[in-house]
Structure 1
């Protein structure tokens, strides 16, 4: 055992050396105007993530294991929620969150095919995809231009006797109006899924987003607030939803033994399930049609080191957002800039810019100019998902409702884009972004 630990220590020292030689120089390289690339997002890490990764690989457990369990415990503690469970992506987190609500264990509150779910068309596809994939009916409402979040004034218009849930994202780190949505869901006995994939670390009325609803979801893809490469999480305070989540995440099994464990219930061969033979092995009893959405322990090892950095990442995102806002706020005759609600404390994922009507230039004119000067930009994901090829090709076979004409959603699709505020951005890079935007609009004065 002592020899094993000594070898590990030597390996970890080499990992530190490798990080300092290979990766650290990239973080320390000087910023050069018109040469250095300004990405919209990126990984920020040090030797701790790499050591954890190597440590996990040396154990060679590979699948869900000790690092995964520790991450789930510490992540739940960070959010202040009872349970958090790892999955292999934020998209899988949304899939699991929605399908959890289709379990027959929920009885009269079970979402069934043909039931309706209120959501928005301006966002990332996998907030909507699980609704469609199951056979429920998405009901699309418009968004606000300054917050890019659901227009809660339209919730009552979207409500019908078939409505069972609201599933929306906190867009680019900006919390939705949680007071209104929570009251609406409570009044009408609706489920509320918070897609928190772009908003980890954001707060509303002093409490983290993601924990206000029945289920919250996170993504740990590299551009997000923290990363483990691929990966995501679902979390809840509801013990029945917790039970269903674990079953559906792990093949739909009824057994609740942890990975590598047997007979936790002490009744593995002495129970009756459905019309199976009495005493059928509980390890192979399935109470749901589930999935296999687990992560590897190596991913969780990286995530643990990232989780320690998350509070610092959050503060840096706020600082970077403030720098861009300060440099651009007097251009309000050209742009609609992001706005947070009165109770919101966003951990910004990006800085959204929407062109006002009647300008002499287009969104693409400005975006192409920035890209030509090595400043990476992004549209707001699908724009209006109803105009995407997936809806064009199979839309005739889908059932959905639209409340109003979604004018703000179309405005965002045509005239909005966003730039990064991730922790790896330096002050001089942010100043350069402001400089280039101002330089561009000056040509049209």
Structure 2
């Protein structure tokens, strides 16, 4: 008979016997992001699989509790992606439980034009109107001044992401939101482990969101969560995530409240099964214990992951300092970012363009990415949406035209960083515009 512990030991040994191939410049791909998985992660995932933890259960609850404690909020609600987390967070603010404070169709939500689509999509999907503002060209974040200038009679909320792990000035923007009775949704998907004024990001907003996709700071494969200190919002998010049901039993429970057949809600008869009473128009956006098992293993390494990201970013910044024709990023004052990526913007007077340097780096097996969607309003999906623009979107357009980023995730070594720097410096120093070459190589 095969013993469970013996099986898991074999899986660990299998992982440890897998040789890591050496880095070969120009051959080994330097990814922009990726998961860093070790023997602990593999055995944790295998243990959950062996135990057939295929739905949300005890491990999901434990991960929610552990992650909320790690970030510093009262509640966390695990979900199937960071995008779903944003959908749940915005939708929760439309719930009847909030009374007159709830968001209603036509209300405005201030957000950044330069960012990831699913920070903005739930605003549109809930019949709300996005108000787009520009960003700072050094930090790639929205400023408090831009937020204040954008506030109008129907503005009821602010939804912003910390760009590439660099916190926006969230304490000041949270203060503005409080002053004007606006909700604040803090998209913390790229910034787990970052701090602003010595306080963790993810703890300032009425709700915050996280992604556990493999690109992010810790991974569950697919996955995300919503965090909050507000117990009413936490319950609404849980209901919306779990089909919209009114019942608060965990999976596998049947009568936590002791009144399963003692409710009379809506137009239903007295005693209708509370497990099948629905108080919201909800979804099924749950995650599984398989994902949570991996998340718990990854969470134990978060501090090391954040330290590696900071080290890699600082090494890039130091070695590229003073380079011509590339504007380098700056951390937001009073922040300590846990970086997601290293952004660079080709200056307007450069003798090359973004396409040239990006193609050159990609030819060297150095992965690059644009700054997410650039200016969202230039994409076909947003051409017909109802929206308002506050001020102009000059920097957002620059980002769309001239900004790219390279990776700093923990799987990148010093040797890889040095090769990236050498490649960038070689391109900038030796570039000559030539119609013969689409790679920006000197001919």
Same fold (TM over 0.5): yes
Shift of 1:156: 2.2
1:154: how far off? 1.6
Q: Distance in 2 between matches of 1:375 and 1:145?
A: 24
State the SS of the aligned residue for 1:351. strand
User: What do residues 217-246 of structure 1 show as CA deviations (whole Å, max 9, x unaligned)?
Assistant: 000101111111100011000111111111
Q: Pick from 246, 259, 266 the counterpart of residue 267 of structure 1.
A: 259
CA distance in 2, matches of 1:97, 1:214: 9
Report whether the alignment pairs 1:441 with 2:432: no
Question: CA offsets, 1:323-356, max 9 Å, x none?
Answer: 000110111x412111112210000000000111
Aligned length: 432
TM score, norm. by length of structure 2:
0.96
2:46 is matched with which residue: 42, 46, 54? 54
Equivalent residue in structure 2 for 1:12, among 8, 19, 22:
8
Hey, which of these two has a bigger chunk of helix by percent? 1
Shift of 1:372: 0.4
Deviation of 1:8 after TM superposition, in Å, equals: 0.9
Distance in structure 2 (CA, Å) of the matches to 1:263 and 1:304: 28
* Residue 31 (structure 2) pairs with residue 39 (structure 1): yes
For the 8 Å contact 2:171–2:204, the answer to whether it is kept is: no
- Corresponding residue of 1:387: 378
| 1:217 alignment partner, SS class | strand
How many angstroms apart in 2 are the aligned matches of 1:86 and 1:240? 16
CA distance in 1, matches of 2:331, 2:25: 31
CA deviations over 1:276-317 (Å, ceiling 9, x no partner): 111111111111101111111101101110000110000000
Match of 1:127 in 2: 119
Q: Match for 1:255 among 247, 261, 273?
A: 247
Aligned to 1:370: 361
Which residue is 1:201 aligned to?
Answer: 193
Does residue 102 (structure 1) correspond to residue 89 (structure 2)? The answer is no
- Picking from 376, 380, 396, the partner of 1:409 is 396
1:245 aligns with 2:202: no
Of the three residues 183, 194, 197, the one matched with 1:191 is 183
Q: Distance in 2 between matches of 1:335 and 1:58?
A: 51
Determine whether 1:286 maps to 2:278: yes
SS at 1:164 equivalent = strand
- C-alpha separation in 1, matches of 2:415 and 2:300: 26
Instruction: Report the Cα distance in structure 1 between the residues aligned to 2:273 and 2:147, rounded to whole angstroms.
Output: 47
- Give the TM-score normalised by structure 1: 0.95
Aligned equivalents of 2:42 and 2:26: distance in 1? 32
Aligned to 1:306: 298
Which residue number corresponds to residue 139 of structure 1? 131
Q: CA deviation at 1:444?
A: 4.3
Deviation at 1:432, TM superposition (A): 0.2
Which residue in 1 is equivalent to 2:172? Answer: 180
CA distance in 2, matches of 1:49, 1:34: 30
CA shift for structure 1 position 157: 2.2
Runs of 4+ in 1 over 3 A off after TM superposition: none
Q: How far did residue 358 of structure 1 move?
A: 1.2
CA deviation vs aligned residue, 1:404-427 (integer Å, no higher than 9, x gap): 220000001101000000001010
Are 1:343 and 2:330 matched, yes or no?
Answer: no
Does 150-159 or 255-264 show the bigger shift? 150-159
State the alpha-carbon separation in 2 of the partners of residues 233 and 366 from structure 1: 36
Structural RMSD (CA): 1.1
Q: Give 2:387's match in structure 1, choosing from 400, 406, 410.
A: 400
Q: What secondary structure does 2:370 align onto?
A: coil
Q: Render the CA deviation track for 1:160-194: whole Å, top value 9, x for unaligned.
A: 11111000000000000012201110000110000
The equivalent of 1:361 in structure 2 is 352
